[in-house]
Structure 1
């Protein structure tokens, strides 16, 4: 139940989401090049092999599930072999780890290899712990560790492992003075004596593990030699040098919000009745396990807590120091917690052991309390995972419905270059995740073929800054599957709203069943659950820009004759210029709305758009002190288009676009 209850719905979902679309349509040569840019020289070959499968997404979801379970088993083996947990605790830890609901993104094809790296790391650790004197197992362990380092955050966890093994090597060779001998004047001599005793066993340890000590350095050299330069990834993991020290403490204290979000995710998304039922079922199943011989000692529980925190912190620190702090409330950023889940679950087991001592004072809880607690943790994760599965299926059904409907309009959309998606359906995207342009674009490539269409959400379209690299750099455009896109081609707005029938969770399950049984479910999806509308995007930028260029020529002619640009008397007061201060703290000479003094019609026929309009409507604004001027079409209704089509003319101060002399840029 823990393994499949929360993941079955996700694993059988054939859809692609988020970064999955970026990898899906790359040519074999591009995949190989991208792999090298990422520093994984073999990654492109693996991607090509996966994309050649009949069902790449399903294959990688299965890989993600299997390797996650392998990780859990290997973690439990390592902790049990080193006497950190009991046999019963190993089973509990495995079940909590297997059911973990906090990172559903691990099943996406673009993240699936994270699971492989983590599984490889823990399998390597298990081989090293089990076969310290077996040459073959040590070599196999070193090879696996090397492969796991391609998830770079695991290198610090590896350092923790080697440090703990080194401490274990000297533990039996060092005699620590009793507490009575630790006084202020004996601290330094005692530490010096301990250090001297440690040198000999440390030398032996270093000699026996020279390959493992050198392994991270070998990996760094090998990766540097096999990594290709990339305009996208060269600065992807730059370290924030100011945060190197402060991030150490943050990597430990982050355990509190992570634990909070672990439990709040399930309590917010799962109906209370389902939580109660799942808790009872898991509790009853736990009661079938062999009984514990006794409570875990305080000392052992404390060691579990410390070790769990160390694992957690070592896994989290590399992300914090590159400004990628894991956030369990974010569908995307939660992926950075994956290497730390082992430590997180061990901390939970330790906390359960501490709480169990409190249960000892209540007869009912003394007997059933711990199993109820662990049962709740597992049951809540199973339910939350089930809800995640429903959410991703809901997202996929909306994808399919949208693209199926657009495909039916293909004749009318043949020349369209930009699709702006306004999704107002009630549920929206799962967990409020943002649908980035490459997810919409990938769907368009899948539906229409070619690389000439850009799909983008209304929110992203409106909030993109001017000169955004992804829409201007040929490399980036090619990388994100719209290399042949032209902004001047027609734009349409695709509106998505609810259909006549609400797409409830029960109906999502019915559609899943119909899909898995090969029934015709698309017709029901289109006819009942969604409604779509098409409209052309209102764009007047090109007309206004041509108009402003003509006005700019007229202004140049005016200055040539009068030695100054047109202005109003209020622009000067005596020998000093006059400046206005508006409600937004903008300072400028007096603003003329819908006119340019003395310019029309002597130097140019007045354009139809050059008339004052009510405030907050599109208006020409003219500002001049005689020496400089600024002409802006403010409050424009097509700013999103203008920012990308004419970034040099976009004016963030006035919310529009225009022309100006250099000293008037920020008026």
Structure 2
């Protein structure tokens, strides 16, 4: 950073500046090195706090969550196929190598943490070398980035590679923007940037960085003061069109020169897309995974910039909602004390420079968030799983946070009591909140792992009773993290871990009951194989596993004791029954017998029609001239009246009345019959096994009510 830049970016020297910071310029080379070493030693405690305090419990968790389970048990050839379907031709080979490790989940979490820290350091270095931040600001940026509590899902196995892509991107940017030898830096950046594009949203961020770099390059050739001498006056506004034309003419030549010098960078995204297209195989599952919603392409540009407001709100709101005040205060105080140890800035950032930082962060945030908006994947920081979509944008978000700290620091300079400690108090709170939220998330993740361990232990203990069961329906209301709607990934993975086969499906009761008839997950053999139950048979017995929190609550202290017992090799699993209660029962299924009975009744109805020329009618008027008479009920249902638990004139002449053919109260299982003589509908309404029937007999499910049965063509909509 040269003297001109310091004058433009920084205020006069602070009265509380660290004396070593000013003495370094007057020291010998050896003394300067020792001074720099002393500075970094003072930075180690807060760096250690930011990197490890909030992430330690998460990183050391050995469990699998969400669709981690899908990847864990894929056959090697299937993993390779999935990678190619996703356009990552090498991904399957990497997955197989990771799954071959002794502890794949721990390896991926450690890799995720390392990559995340590298990404923050590389971005901070690039911002410092581009004179966006001072050295102190860049270090604080790295602290906030490393400690950030949002999108903790980045540490899960299935999302860990996001961190690697983002780190690769910022390493590439650092090579490109921060080296003193441009040609060498350009060549070094290419493999990192190319690799990062496998997280496709980073292509847009790359283009934004390239545009900003080009504008900065061109601005050096523009005489801004001559082109806009009176921009703040009314006369200057009238001259604005001419001034803009002059500016564009001056910028044209340097922009062409920039494009010529960096042609390979401009071509890199196109080269990537070509190679990805050539190495991608056709996929029925992922073909529309990232389809662009073309109607939202323009509106999403605005949304990308306005999204920063709710994101900033939720960034701070998550700590107030999830962390106790005492824990928040303790973590903030520790971070404040550690911040007081590190050297303080000799000068404050000027207001103009801070506003420029805000603008830069805002643009980078919008560029990173835009690709997710146009495919309908808006980031929600309050959602454990959907927050992953914010990961590429966190660089811009943290730049904005540091710029806000710089603006407030200028205000603190006017207040005597805050002049020397205000900035550290503010950053101490930001870091402390992130650390505290990270600890809370880590505890929640371990509670979820304890629940999963209890389920697997229970199933393993009752293997004899569950030997023939193929469908496990989980009524699970115990500890679990996040707001997932799809649980079959996890439950099926747990069953694979217990039985070491792909014959069983685990599904939550909500999923099971809300599946449509002939749900693709079960009907499609390719999907069954993809989600680890390729040898599954739906018609085999079903079991219901009820999971509830145990009599002994899993408090934070108890969770930490279990964690300690686990890592010390103690017999921690024996305590699971106290923390998580499980029970089992076979699912009551009568649909198969009821369907057979329904067809017997339908045969009797056919015999009745042969004798009488029509089906037993439930309407008051018989058909005239081949046209039936229907009624319009108060619920706007059009059709013949419904008879509950009986069929007029059918029993006992055409068949013996079955036990189930009797009237029952509303809401209870009962037969419904309706006919106008020309057509009929006979269904068993409100059955207790409708979820089973929707998959076992999908063609017999009544579209008008929760029921299954049979009907003639003209009666299907009654």
- TM-score under structure 2 normalisation? 0.90
Larger Rg: 2
Shift of 1:458: 1.1
Structure 1, 403-412 or 568-577: larger mean CA deviation: 568-577
Distance (whole Å) between structure 1 residues aligned to residue 210 and residue 335 of structure 2: 37
Matched, 1:535 2:588: no
Equivalent position to 1:578, from 596, 612, 630? 630
Given that 2:628 and 2:677 are in contact with CA atoms closer than 8 Å, whether structure 1 keeps it comes out as: no
Shift of 1:185: 5.4
Shift of 1:446: 0.5
Distance (whole Å) between structure 1 residues aligned to residue 185 and residue 677 of structure 2: 83
Given that 2:385 and 2:482 are in contact with CA atoms closer than 8 Å, whether structure 1 keeps it comes out as: no
- Please name the residue that 1:612 is paired with: 663
Given that 1:565 and 1:629 are in contact with CA atoms closer than 8 Å, whether structure 2 keeps it comes out as: yes
- Please name the residue that 1:70 is paired with: 118
Distance (whole Å) between structure 2 residues aligned to residue 148 and residue 602 of structure 1: 77
Distance (whole Å) between structure 1 residues aligned to residue 187 and residue 385 of structure 2: 36
- Please name the residue that 1:163 is paired with: 211
Equivalent position to 1:320, from 355, 360, 373? 373
Given that 1:570 and 1:578 are in contact with CA atoms closer than 8 Å, whether structure 2 keeps it comes out as: no
Given that 1:545 and 1:658 are in contact with CA atoms closer than 8 Å, whether structure 2 keeps it comes out as: yes
- Please name the residue that 2:336 is paired with: 283
Distance (whole Å) between structure 2 residues aligned to residue 365 and residue 661 of structure 1: 82
Partner SS for 1:329: coil
The equivalences for 1:362-511 within 5 A come to 362-425=415-478, 428-434=479-485, 436-511=487-562
Given that 1:571 and 1:590 are in contact with CA atoms closer than 8 Å, whether structure 2 keeps it comes out as: no
Partner SS for 1:535: strand
Shift of 1:259: 1.3
Matched, 1:47 2:95: yes
Shift of 1:441: 0.2
For residues 148-177 of structure 1, what are the alpha-carbon distances to aligned partners after superposition, in whole Å with 9 as ceiling and x for unaligned? 000000000000011011101110112231
Distance (whole Å) between structure 1 residues aligned to residue 173 and residue 408 of structure 2: 30
Shift of 1:447: 0.4
Given that 2:70 and 2:493 are in contact with CA atoms closer than 8 Å, whether structure 1 keeps it comes out as: yes
Shift of 1:365: 2.2
Distance (whole Å) between structure 1 residues aligned to residue 396 and residue 713 of structure 2: 57
- TM-score under structure 1 normalisation? 0.96
Structure 1, 65-74 or 25-34: larger mean CA deviation: 25-34
Shift of 1:564: 2.4
Distance (whole Å) between structure 2 residues aligned to residue 632 and residue 593 of structure 1: 10
Partner SS for 1:411: coil
Structure 2 residue runs without a partner (length 5+):
1-48
Given that 2:701 and 2:709 are in contact with CA atoms closer than 8 Å, whether structure 1 keeps it comes out as: yes
- Please name the residue that 1:552 is paired with: 602
For residues 356-381 of structure 1, what are the alpha-carbon distances to aligned partners after superposition, in whole Å with 9 as ceiling and x for unaligned? 33434432123222211110010011
Given that 2:628 and 2:676 are in contact with CA atoms closer than 8 Å, whether structure 1 keeps it comes out as: no
Equivalent position to 2:384, from 314, 318, 331? 331
Equivalent position to 1:139, from 187, 190, 201? 187
| Structure 1 residues 587 and 296: CA distance shift in structure 2, 3 A | farther
Distance (whole Å) between structure 2 residues aligned to residue 231 and residue 52 of structure 1: 28
- Please name the residue that 1:267 is paired with: 320
Distance (whole Å) between structure 2 residues aligned to residue 4 and residue 437 of structure 1: 32
Given that 2:214 and 2:255 are in contact with CA atoms closer than 8 Å, whether structure 1 keeps it comes out as: yes
Structure 1, 195-204 or 50-59: larger mean CA deviation: 195-204
- Please name the residue that 2:614 is paired with: 564
Partner SS for 2:153: helix
Equivalent position to 2:363, from 310, 318, 328? 310
- Please name the residue that 2:258 is paired with: 205
Distance (whole Å) between structure 1 residues aligned to residue 129 and residue 379 of structure 2: 30
Distance (whole Å) between structure 2 residues aligned to residue 315 and residue 85 of structure 1: 20
| Structure 1 residues 79 and 305: CA distance shift in structure 2, 3 A | same
For residues 387-442 of structure 1, what are the alpha-carbon distances to aligned partners after superposition, in whole Å with 9 as ceiling and x for unaligned? 111111111111111111210111111110011111233xx311344461011000
Given that 1:578 and 1:589 are in contact with CA atoms closer than 8 Å, whether structure 2 keeps it comes out as: yes
Shift of 1:293: 2.2
Given that 2:645 and 2:672 are in contact with CA atoms closer than 8 Å, whether structure 1 keeps it comes out as: yes
Structure 1, 495-504 or 454-463: larger mean CA deviation: 495-504
Given that 1:11 and 1:58 are in contact with CA atoms closer than 8 Å, whether structure 2 keeps it comes out as: yes
- Please name the residue that 2:200 is paired with: 152
- Please name the residue that 1:589 is paired with: 640
Distance (whole Å) between structure 2 residues aligned to residue 663 and residue 118 of structure 1: 59
Given that 1:571 and 1:589 are in contact with CA atoms closer than 8 Å, whether structure 2 keeps it comes out as: no
Shift of 1:194: 1.8
Partner SS for 1:577: coil
Given that 1:580 and 1:590 are in contact with CA atoms closer than 8 Å, whether structure 2 keeps it comes out as: no
Across the aligned residues of Structure 1 and Structure 2, the Cα RMSD in angstroms comes to 1.7
- Please name the residue that 1:634 is paired with: 685
Distance (whole Å) between structure 1 residues aligned to residue 126 and residue 215 of structure 2: 16
Given that 1:429 and 1:435 are in contact with CA atoms closer than 8 Å, whether structure 2 keeps it comes out as: no
Given that 1:132 and 1:138 are in contact with CA atoms closer than 8 Å, whether structure 2 keeps it comes out as: no
The alignment of Structure 1 onto Structure 2 pairs a total of residues equal to: 663
Distance (whole Å) between structure 2 residues aligned to residue 520 and residue 434 of structure 1: 33
Shift of 1:489: 0.4
Distance (whole Å) between structure 1 residues aligned to residue 410 and residue 609 of structure 2: 88
| Structure 1 residues 139 and 270: CA distance shift in structure 2, 3 A | same
Matched, 1:250 2:298: no
Structure 1, 508-517 or 263-272: larger mean CA deviation: 263-272
Shift of 1:571: 5.5
Matched, 1:57 2:101: no
Structure 1, 545-554 or 121-130: larger mean CA deviation: 545-554
